[in-house]
Amino acid sequence: MRILVVEDQAERAAMIADRINRAGFVADRVDRIADAKAALSTHDYPLMLLDRRLPDGDGLRALSEFRRMRPGIRIIVVSALNGTEDRIEGLETGADDYLAKPFDADELLARIRACLRRAGATELPRIVLGRLSFDLAAHQAFHADRPIELRRKELLLLECLARRTERVVAYATIMDEIYGPDEDVASLDALNMLASRLRQKLKSEGLDVELISSRGLGYMLRRLRP
């Protein structure tokens, strides 16, 4: 799952992105309102972290336009403008949450998860395929009700395929979803190795699903054929 971070202070943006990435999401970083609009036109982000004091204006002034572009997006304003009136203005303008700087990174992550769970958010139902299920909000895979232990990239690959079960997902789409813009783009060989590890873990779990390769095209997650 991708999260858009709109923050012009490079060090803080890197800290936020690192914490989000370590939690199993993919953070895309931009530092201007114009770049945020361009990113929203490309990806259907479920959530955005929005600074206010940006080089090309107050992020709050662009909030309504962001919502027109992506009606279901959740927006958390993260700002040094932390007075009571500032917070009220942010919430009344349409933000789902308002977090004042400085903040604790773990609290930010908790607010992100709460926003994704909140009623009225973009629908995030649990995906079920046989005995495998994937909770998009919690970013966790399950065998029945037991969590499956997977590494971050394995989870991202599984989520990418689980969103499109029984369909071949192109290599380019997979690479775009599991590797953020601040990471070195992995080779196809690296992706194939990642898919192989995930395939073995799914088999070792005794799940009734399979990860298959469509040579030259991509990968597909489907229920085992009888």
DSSP 60: G
**pLDDT reading at 101 higher than 60:** yes
Is 163 in the same domain as 82?
no
What pLDDT, on a 0 to 100 scale, did the predictor assign at position 1?
78
Please check whether residue 162 is in contact with residue 182, taking contact to mean a CB–CB distance below 8 angstroms: no
**pLDDT reading at 119 higher than 60:** no
Q: Which residue, among 32, 56, 27, 19, has the nearest Cα to 43 in the 3D structure?
A: 27
**pLDDT reading at 182 higher than 60:** no
**pLDDT reading at 183 higher than 70:** no
Is 7 in the same domain as 109?
yes
pLDDT (tens digit per residue) in 151-163: 988 999 999 999 8
What pLDDT, on a 0 to 100 scale, did the predictor assign at position 77?
95
Q: The whole model's pTM is what?
A: 0.63
**pLDDT reading at 208 higher than 80:** yes
Distance CA 14, CA 20 (A): 10
Distance CA 9, CA 2 (A): 20
| CATH code for the domain of 85 | 3.40.50.2300
∠ CA 91-25-5, nearest 5°, is: 45
Is 89 in the same domain as 140?
no
Distance CA 220, CA 162 (A): 9
- Could you say which of 117, 137, 172 is where a domain stops? 117
| CATH code for the domain of 140 | 1.10.10.10
Please check whether residue 20 is in contact with residue 29, taking contact to mean a CB–CB distance below 8 angstroms: no
Position 93 in a domain: yes
